[in-house]
Structure formats: C-alpha cells, structure tokens
Chains A and B, each alone.
Chain A
Amino acid sequence: MALTEKDLEHLEKLARVKLSGESRERLRAQLERIIEFVRQLEGVDTTGVEARSYTYEFKPELREDATKPCLPRAEVLAAAPAKREGYFAVPSVIEADEL
C-alpha cells in the first residue's frame, strides 16, 4: 500500500510533527514498509470477535469523586518552558483584532 508524500503531509499535520527535509523520504519509505507488514492482520479471521482494549480480569473500581490534595502549583510550573502569573504561557492563539 503506497504512502504518498501527500499522505505523509496529512499525518505530519495530524500528529503535529514536522519532519526535516533530509529524513522525510527515508521515513516515508520505512512507514510504507511497516504498514505493509502490519497489514498481514487482514488475513486473520475475526468474525464474531469483539475488540479488546484491556487485559485485566477484574472490574476496576472507580474511586470516590472527591477532591484530594494535588501537587503544589509552583512545583509543577517549575518545569514549564514559559510561565506567567501562575499559568503556562504559550504564543498568542487569538490575534489582537479578533478580541
């Protein structure tokens, strides 16, 4: 199954990963081969089988929906690349004329 340059651009956008020029053709060709490899599952008969996303054999208990102490804000923010007034800071999302 071919993975075109256009498909790759779409995946880059969905995954928010920018590939650099030199590695992208190599990565595209490798991805194509990996997809071909995992396609062997097509041949497995799964008629009537329900999809399974977990393996535990007990019913997980939900904890009570109550507040609990959490990590101190300052300690968590300490790892942030940019912060302002006790919040994470990011490049502006809304243009000034949209306000």
Chain B
Amino acid sequence: MNDFVQYSIAGLAGLYRSHETTVRDVVRAYLDVIAEREPRTKAYLQVFAEGALDEAARLDAKGYDGRALYGVPIAVKDNICTRGIPTTCGSKILEGYRPPYDAAAIERLKAAGAVIIGKTNMDEFAMGSSTENSAYQVTRNPWNEGYVPGGSSGGSAAAVAAGMTLAALGSDTGGSVRQPASLCGVVGLKGTYGRVSRYGLVAFASSLDQIGPLARDVGDCAAVMEVVAGHDERDATTIPEPAPDLRGGLEKGLEGLRIAAPRDLENWEIETSVKEITLGTIRDLESARMKVDRVDLPSTDISIASYYILANAEASSNLARYDGVKYGLRSSSESLERMYEETRGQGFGDEVKRRILLGTYVLSAGYYDAYYAKAQKVRALICSGFKRLFESCDLLMLPTSPTSAFRLGEKLDDPITMYLTDVFTTQANIAGLPAISIPAGLSPGGLPIGMQLVAAWGEEATLMRGAFGLERIYRFRELFSPGSSKGKGRHA
C-alpha cells in the first residue's frame, strides 16, 4: 500500500478518477512513512495526522472533482500562517501562537483540494542555511543523518526527500527554498518576486521574500506553483495577472532555449564534485547540439554583501513587531521599555539577534548612506546587469550551492562561512528573478548536488521548460534515492 507515496500529482489524479484508491489510503500511506522516518529526520514541527485524515474523509465523501490538488498531501513551512494552528517560525518568541487567519497560499491550497499534512521545521524566522537555527529541533538530511538538510526551508526539503509528503511549501529570501532542495535532492522553485502573495507569510525581508514549492520532480513543482501563484489584492506587490500555465509547455524542454553559464567556472573555488557536475552538464548540452554561452555573471562577489545589508535592514524593521504586546512570548516586567528588551532578549535566538543588530546598524544615523543606500545602489546595478544578460539568453545555469550538504554543527559558529553558502542564490532575490534548483547528481560521499536555472523577470514558464529538460538529462529520481545511492548516474 505504501506504493501510493510514489505517485506524482498527475498520477494520483488518475488513481482518484478511476476509483483505484481513496484519499484516506493515500494520506495513511504518507502517515506510515512519517511514522517510520520522522523520529530520525525531525522534519516536522507538527504532523496533522487526525486533521489530514478528517480532510481526506471529506474529500472521499464528495468524490474526485478534478480540482488541481485534490487529495494531494502537502507540508507547509512553519512561517506560513495556518488559521487556528500553531505557527512558530521556529522561534520561542512565537511559541504557541495560533494565527487567526490562513495565508493566501494556504487558502489557495485548500481551495484546490490539497490536504495539509503538517508544518515543517526551519531556521528561526528563516534566518539560516542549515535549519540548525530552529529553536525547537535539528532536522537531519535524509541522505545522511550526520549532515544538514540546508535551510532555511530544511524541514520542507527533508520531508519531501524522505517521502513524508508529496510536496511542500517553503519560503525563499536568499535561497531558502533552492539551497535545501539542492542539499536534499529535490526540486525547489522561487518564482518572480510578486508571483506568490506574501499575505500570511511571516515577513523577514519584504522586498526579497517569496513563497515557493518543493517537490520530487519539476511537474509536481509546477502543479503546486500554478495553484499558489497569482494576483492577490492583499499583497500590493503581487504581479497583477493570474497564475501562468507552467505545465503546458514542459514537454518542449530545452528545445530552442539559449542557455548561458558562468565564464570562469573552471576557476571557481567550490566543491570539486559541484564543479564537475556543472561542467559535465555543459558538455552534455553541447553534445546534444545546444549552444551554451559562457558569460560574466553580474556581480556574484558583491551580491552576498548587499544581500546581507538589505535583508537584515528589512528584518530589523519587520521583527520590531515582536514586542510582547500582540502575540507570543512576553517576559513580565514593571516598565514597558524593559518588557520590550527582555521579551526580545529571551525570545530571539543568537542568529536573529545578530541580524537585527546588523540591520539596526546599517540603518542607524551616520551609517545609512554608507551601507543601506549603497547596497540599494548595488541592487540597481545587479538588476540592470541581469536585464542585459537576458537580452542575449533565456536561462542562466549555475550551481545552486557551492557545496553538497555539510556536517551538522560544521558552520554553526561561523556566520560568514554560513552566509557564503548562499553565494549563488541571493542574486535571484536581489533582482526579483525566478529561479529553480533541480537535483543533478551525487557527490562521491553520496550527497545530492543541485543545478540552478535562473530566468528573466516573469519567465517562469521558460524556467520550468528548461528545468524539465535538465531533469530528463539527469534522470536523478530513476537513478538515486536516499539510502540506496547505488546506480550509474552522475556521480562526480
């Protein structure tokens, strides 16, 4: 019966349509995997076993109705508000907080017939690249439990990789969907800024944050994106158009697309296996008579620095709302001022404090122009650099992360080394561009390595086509699975 967990969204729809299974049986099959894998993986902060089975029973009673995600189990990162259900952002300051409303993305999942199966672990307030900054638990990489799943959406990526959900939602401010997808061997998509409503996504850096899906393959990822994307008047920055059709053109794959890759890739100081898989992909494309243009990347070196200024400036402002007044933790104190300071001192973890203080610093009198305004100008340069780049190509291909998964604890005490794991992902956020990570192969140590594609503003359909084309080349799911990484695929 556990076979049901192998089906894609389209495959499940076929089973439901022909009455070959029920939503209850599918949800039970996933709950069985959770019972087996979750005690060691710790991807979930909560599993809604009862709620999911109740919803499944309701769907079964109505019968298959053709909705896009009818009976599809989906896990949700714990910074996306779920009405009446704890939403902690991995922080003690929001322990026990139950939002009085659903995020727009949750409303849309429910309206499409999805079954929300649980809330996933994350770095506190999405600040981190390993999920080790969660105030609650450490999530382990399903491919090797001694390694991190990446972050900040590490719980979502690990849950998908371990087969504990069909798909998941994460959020991506500087790579937080794509990097854990890469480290866990799953597909992770960040749309164009404004593609998915941020209504109900707990704000980290509002000009960079986007909700994005994680799934086992490009088709499932596209199907979930089609549901959660689209204009929402409650988020004035959403693109004023309906969700684009992402699945219609997938079969065309890479055909006719102009692909660019970094010119100096050979000299990059990154993990050898990441470099070899990237160069191997370029060779494969070229031998399939596709031209890969080698281009200079717009500002890789300065994007991380501008990202950490912009993101943390916005975070220091956004996180001002956690003051012990409206929700969450309050440390009792005689005076209001002391209450603020102590609540925040006790409720936030070290990484969140570091970032709030850095953001406060770059916005403070005397430093604003030198740091914040400067970073905004660098942002303008990065945006125009990408605009020029996409005049002569359709997709930029580069690694998602400079390394495969690293060991638990390895980078925890060295913030800058941790920040540098985002070196290839922050540009897409800074410029608001759609980007995706697709599993490409395994390192000699048996850990997944992801390839990233970036497309021009608003060009998700092109992005997904390209990703589907690469997926067909890599055949990652056919060749590898956590725990049985033998096979003759792309080992670096």
List residues of chain A with CB under 8 Å of any chain B CB: 3, 8, 10-12, 14-20, 23, 27, 30-31, 33-35, 37-42, 44, 46, 49-58, 60-63, 71-72, 75-76, 78-82, 88, 90-93
Contact B101 A71 (CB under 8 A): yes
Contact B344 A16 (CB under 8 A): yes
Q: Which of B327, B356, B362, B380 contacts A52 (CB 8 A)?
A: B380
Cα–Cα distance between A90 and B336 once the two chains are bound (Å): 7
Q: Which of B320-359 contact A (CB under 8 A)?
A: 320, 323-330, 333-342, 344-345, 348, 350, 353-354, 356-358
The closest CB in chain B to the CB of A82 belongs to: B330
Cα–Cα distance between A17 and B348 once the two chains are bound (Å): 9
**18 A-B interface contacts by CB (under 8 A):** A12-B341, A15-B344, A17-B357, A19-B345, A35-B358, A37-B308, A38-B309, A44-B302, A46-B380, A49-B380, A52-B377, A52-B380, A52-B383, A58-B240, A61-B240, A72-B100, A88-B326, A91-B336
Contact A55 B378 (CB under 8 A): no
Cα–Cα distance between A57 and B236 once the two chains are bound (Å): 13
The closest CB in chain B to the CB of A37 belongs to: B416
Q: Which B residues touch A80, using CB under 8 A?
A: 325-327
Contact A79 B357 (CB under 8 A): no
Cα–Cα distance between A8 and B371 once the two chains are bound (Å): 17
Q: Which B residues touch A16, using CB under 8 A?
A: 320, 323, 337, 340-341, 344
Top 9 A-B pairs ranked by shortest CB distance? A55-B432, A18-B345, A51-B376, A81-B330, A46-B377, A52-B380, A79-B327, A18-B341, A75-B100
Q: Which B residues touch A72, using CB under 8 A?
A: 100
Q: Which B residues touch A81, using CB under 8 A?
A: 324-325, 327-330
Q: Is B136 an interface residue (CB 8 A)?
A: no
Q: Which B residues touch A88, using CB under 8 A?
A: 325-326
Least CB distance from B396 to A in Å reads 16
Q: Name A's interface SS.
A: loop
Cα–Cα distance between A63 and B191 once the two chains are bound (Å): 24
Cα–Cα distance between A90 and B194 once the two chains are bound (Å): 36
Q: Is B68 an interface residue (CB 8 A)?
A: no
List residues of chain B with CB under 8 Å of any chain A CB: 97-101, 193-194, 207, 233, 236-237, 239-240, 301-302, 305-306, 308-309, 316, 320, 323-330, 333-342, 344-345, 348, 350, 353-354, 356-358, 360-362, 364, 370-371, 373-381, 383, 415-416, 419, 430-433, 457-458
Contact B374 A30 (CB under 8 A): no
Q: Which of A51, A60, A91 contacts B237 (CB 8 A)?
A: A60
Q: Which B residues touch A39, using CB under 8 A?
A: 305
Contact A53 B350 (CB under 8 A): no
Cα–Cα distance between A20 and B354 once the two chains are bound (Å): 13
Q: Say yes or no: A79-B330 contact (C-beta < 8 A), given A16-B323, A57-B458.
A: no
Q: Say yes or no: A30-B371 contact (C-beta < 8 A), given A76-B100, A79-B97, A81-B330.
A: no
Beyond A17-B344, A91-B338, 5 additional contacts (C-beta under 8 Å) are: A31-B361, A34-B354, A41-B306, A51-B377, A88-B326
Contact A41 B380 (CB under 8 A): no
Interface centre among A19, A40, A46, A61 (most CB of B within 10 A): A46
Q: Say yes or no: A58-B239 contact (C-beta < 8 A), given A18-B345, A51-B380.
A: yes
Least CB distance from B217 to A in Å reads 28
Q: Say yes or no: A14-B339 contact (C-beta < 8 A), given A56-B237, A61-B236, A61-B240.
A: no
The closest CB in chain A to the CB of B235 belongs to: A60
Q: Which B residues touch A50, using CB under 8 A?
A: 377, 380
Contact A33 B302 (CB under 8 A): no
Q: Which B residues touch A51, using CB under 8 A?
A: 373, 376-377, 379-380
The closest CB in chain A to the CB of B241 belongs to: A58
Cα–Cα distance between A54 and B239 once the two chains are bound (Å): 13
Least CB distance from B386 to A in Å reads 10
The closest CB in chain B to the CB of A51 belongs to: B376
Least CB distance from B44 to A in Å reads 22
Q: Which of B100, B236, B345, B457 contacts A60 (CB 8 A)?
A: B236
Q: Which A residues touch B374, using CB under 8 A?
A: 41-42, 44, 46
Contact A15 B305 (CB under 8 A): no
